[in-house]
Structure 1
Amino acid sequence: MEVFWRQGYEGTSMNDLTAAMGINRPSLYAAFGCKEALFQEAVTLYDATAGAPAARALEEAPTAREAVERVLRVNASYGAAPGTAPGCMIVLAATVGSPETEEVRALLSRRRSEGQIGLRNRLQRAMAEGDLPQGADIDGIAMFYTAVLQGLTIQARDGAAAEALHRVVDKAMAAWDVLVRPSTDEQL
């Protein structure tokens, strides 16, 4: 997982993987079949480990605002933590590549979409519970905060410190009250 996370799908060779796992190629192929299958396992592991705190924050926070802020802060802290690969593996591992890796890019695109849908669902729940006003643009809010998360990942990959990433979160959360206002015809 960490090799793919640091180097991306295409940047990771079979030699990198066998060295990291301490096994030979025949053992890797016997266990996983191919590099893509191993990558899919790595993505599943990432979701269960590095991605779990953000998923928990989204579900467990008492308000939508707190859920969004916790998700952003978890990503800001974890993305710049010493000893871990910077940023989010789902965002970084394969956004571009050769035609041969289209299935890998599609897998990660689906995972990124699932993250945005999860955020949208949390906002929808908040609206149903009266935590967000009826008429709030939950699709736009989810897209905005997903873009902030993805931007945090790029900044972390570029070496931004956690403190700087948290300043971005502060600015993104300052927009909350404006973003959750219901749309009116006059505003359009």
Structure 2
Amino acid sequence: MTAARDPLRRLKDDTADLHREAELHVRILDADATLTDYRRYLAAMLGYHAPLEDRLGAHAGLLAVGFAAAERRKSPMLVADLGVLGEDPSTVPRCAALPSTASLASALGVAYVLEGSTLGGRYILAKLPPALTVLRGRATAFLAGYGPDTGARWRAFAAVVTRVVSTTEAEAEAVLAARATFTRLIDWLAPRTRAAGQALREAS
């Protein structure tokens, strides 16, 4: 008997290396993280999420299979958080080097990374270092994700992936797109991480 396919497991396993690499460019869990680090993090996330969410929100195939990407946008949360911190979100650069969402499977692979960030955000929110704990409930909408509905909304997304990514070919497309999403995110974050490190060295 052939075992049931588990595309979510393969997506997790086959992107784990890039997930870990992406985390190296996020400083907000470091013990010495500052408000400036947090502002940079929010701006970087907005610059990457907003254009990618525009793409997913316009993807008719996603809506047809029951994934309403336009209703799951995180960029409004980022805009709100930045506004609380006195930043103008309209001045934040947007990433132009985005992963492909040409096929339904690839769009779901991209969405896997963005939806997975809601689970990671809840973990980060609980582990914020001392200098950032004062922001909880004030400028942490993005990290809070869907709040108490986060688990249920992840399970609903997972059900769509399991149902739709049902062939070897679709699974491979989804994994390729998820890896590209992480890779483009790393490429987007890396120069910002270097700039933050340079500013720290110059201040010391």
TM-score by length of 1: 0.29
Larger RCO, structures 1/2 (Cα 8 Å, 6+ apart): 2
The structure with the larger Rg is: 1
